[in-house]
Structures are given as C-alpha cells and as structure tokens.
Structure 1
Amino acid sequence: MHSMWKTLLVALLVLVAGCSGGVGGDGTTATQTTTADTADGDAANADTSDGGETGDSSTDDSASSMAFDFNQTWDEQFREGQYYRYEITSPNVDGTATYEWEVLDATDDEVTIRTKVVTEDSTSEQTVTAARDELYSELSGSPSGSIATVGFNSPYYSGVEGETLEVGDSWEASGANGDVSFAVESTSSYAGLDCANFVVRTNGSVFWESCVTPESPLPGYMAFYEEEGDDEPVFEMTLVEYRPGN
C-alpha cells in the first residue's frame, strides 16, 4: 500500500512543483481552525491559515465529547451546491496549489461535479457525471483524479464506516507493513466544517491522517507521511473554503 501512495504522490509533486504561492480563481478566504485535544482537556486553539497567526485560546467543554455517527455510505452523500476549496502543500514544493470540488447536480442515480487544480503556472479543470460510487474512477487518469484518489479515496476511510466515534476511540490491526493503529485524537473545525481527527500509525509512526465527519463526504484536512518517523507530511490538503449545499 505504501508503494501505491508513493507512486501517486510522485505524480502530484510533479504537478505542483515550482509553485510560489500564487493561486487563481476566487480570492482566498481566511480559515478559522480550532482544535480540541484530549491531552489538554478542554483547550481549543484557534489558528488562521492565511496569516499564520495564532488566535486566543477558548474553552469548549463539549468539543472533545462530540460523537460522530458514520453510516455505510457517508462518503457518497454528495448534495447539489456543495463546494470545497483546499490548499495543497508539501515540504518538497515552494508555495501552495489549490484544489476545488463543486457539486453541480446530484440525483439518486448520479452526481455531476466540477474540479479545478490551480498552480502558479497552470490551471486544470474537469467536469464529470457518474454514479456516486464511480466518481473517482471516472476522474482517474487526470491531475484532478490523482489528487482526489490520494485525498478522498484512501482505503483507510473504510475504518470509520458504520462506526460511532468519539475522541479517545482507538483500535489496532496487524498488516503486511507491521502493526497498524487507528485513533480519533481530537476534534477540529476547518472553514466551518466540524470534524474528527482520525490518525493512522504504522509501527508507532504517523502514516496518514484526516479530519472526517458524516456531515460531509470530503474531509476538512488530510495528510500523508512518506516514511515511518517523518515529522512532516509529504503531502497535505487543508480545507479553506466550504459551502454545505442544499
């Protein structure tokens, strides 16, 4: 599984290489990111992604006790009008790219989405119509499809299907790469989307993490670590603008 993700990431890093922070499309919207960490009890730290400044800490007694009830099809619940804009960053790339995902139409049978990748040097836009469970395969072979596969279609998302999760929940499994652990470590809010920070570790080192909620088929945050023991992710996506749709 590691080799599959590395192959996709090589393509993505080539896509965004050379970016210097210039983004196209709509103007950047400041994102308020709050985190309730069980290690600190009720502390919630507010950060603004655009300015990199840390806001005043606030107390939220309910944040760490939120329950997230994931049904079996939570990741296919697309609604007309849903809009997501992410910043894509990597320590191997100068600057930031952006990725947009907008649901133009949604019926019981199929969904029409528009995706857009913007770097300083290029823009790639794609519109597809497909059944809800075939969107990612329909996007495959394009820059947008590679980003969507890494960011939204990881097999680790299946770990939350059918579960009701709270901060502190965790479990372990043995795999080909050693021991794998899963844990809900905190709650956060990205661009107004409240979510649970779901962290996957291999042999004790963070390998993959995402901030997920049954209220949205796409995450508020996603990060992938290339090697065991890495301190920084090799690829991450942060939600900076969000509209929930109809």
Structure 2
Amino acid sequence: MAVRSAGAGAFVQVGRMATLAWEVLRAMPRRPFQVRECIQQAWFFASVTILPTALVAIPFGAVIAMQLGSLTQQIGAQSFTGAASALAILQQASPLITALLVAGAGGSAVCADIGARTIREEIDAMEVLGVSPIHRLIVPRVVGAMLVALLLNGMVSVVGVMGGYFFNVILQGGTPGAYLASFNALAQLPDLWISEFKALLYGFVAGVVAAYRGLNPAGGPKGVGDAVNQAVVITFLLLFLINLVLTGIYLQLVPPKGL
C-alpha cells in the first residue's frame, strides 16, 4: 500500500493522509460493500459515544445560553438570546462536539484495532491474498463514523438547544416566547444543512486519520499506543482548521436572515 509509511515529515504525512482519503472515496462505491461490517462499526461508534455526547451537549448548551444571556442583558437585547445561542449551538458547537467525541472514543478504538492488525502483519497477509485492506477494513469504519456523526449531530442540536432554553428561562429569568420567537425569526434552513454537512465531513476526517495512523504504527504495542494518541491530536487539529474554513465560506455565501 502506497499510503503505509513511517518516519516521514509532516508535509509528506499530510500528503499520504490525503492519498488515503482519496483511496477510501474511490473504494466506497466498489462492490461488494461490507454492509454487515459497516453496521457493526456504526453500532460500536454509537454505543461508545451516544451517552457522553448527550451529557456534554447539555452543559455546553447551557454555558453558551447563560453567557449570551448575560451579554444580551447588558446591551438591552435579551430578546435575541434564543437566536444567538441556538445558532451558535447548531452551526458550531453541535458538529464539533459530535466529531470530537466520535474521534476520541470511536476513532481511537479504530486506530488501535487497525494498528494491532498491522503489527501482527494481518494487513500484509490481506494484500498477499489480493484482498484490499482499504475496501475490507477501512471503508466500513469510515462510513460507520460518518453515519453516526450525522445522526448524533441532530441529537446534540436538540439537546443543546433544550439545555440552553432551560437554563436561560429558569436561571436567568428569560422569556420563553422571546427565546423561541427570536430563534424562529433568525434561523434558516441552510444553518441545518451546514451543520449536517460539517458532521458528515468531520466523521470522514476522523475515520481516515484513525485508519492512517493505525496503518503506520512505529512498531510494537508501544507504537500502536503512540499512534492512537497521535490520531486523536491530529484529528482535533484538523477539525478546528476545517471548521474555520467552512464557517468563513458559509458566512460569505449565505447571508444572515434579517428580522
């Protein structure tokens, strides 16, 4: 496999990661698709991330709502708290929370699994037998990560908005009608589409990075452990960079909705 290497420089590693991402995209429509493996991986991702994701979404939404509620009270615009907090959760917090937990909980397990197969030379054995490790092992895991990220993003959006509503109305004395009305007045359908697109892309990035580092451990069990740590850190850095780029493009292309 051309994407497998060790000890390369940072730019070379980025290029090989991009090569692996392209090979995964090319292998996705190839038949036969590993449906059973994909479902198993998606279930694993969901089982290890759904509860932590929900628990993180509640305080995250509450912190955003309380901070924005306090700020809007100071400038006399408390009626816009609902719109500001809900849009912040929907566009930014929800896909990032989802992707970080998918990468931290599920991606690390994928990296460890593929890394263990690599040091046991199972990957080399598959190549000798003419079986593509990308099509057989990596594609189902990447698709599973994308599917779970897409579904969890919707759950995080709902839980985060509900948590922000509760803390703003109960603790800060906000008006329920104003909270919901401002959100309905300023939110638009592209806000949901960009949130779901981000979650789908972040799930893809998390799966590819985990697979790449699993295919390239330094050697031995310690190398696999180091690869897991590197996969999580690299994924986090890439997600924040991609989020910055996507947010800038979205704000330039989609004008905000006025009252």
When normalised by structure 2's length, the TM-score is 0.23
Structure ID, larger Rg: 2
Structure showing the higher helix proportion among its residues = 2
Structure showing the higher strand proportion among its residues = 1
**Structure with larger RCO (C-alpha < 8 A, sep 6+):** 2
When normalised by structure 1's length, the TM-score is 0.24
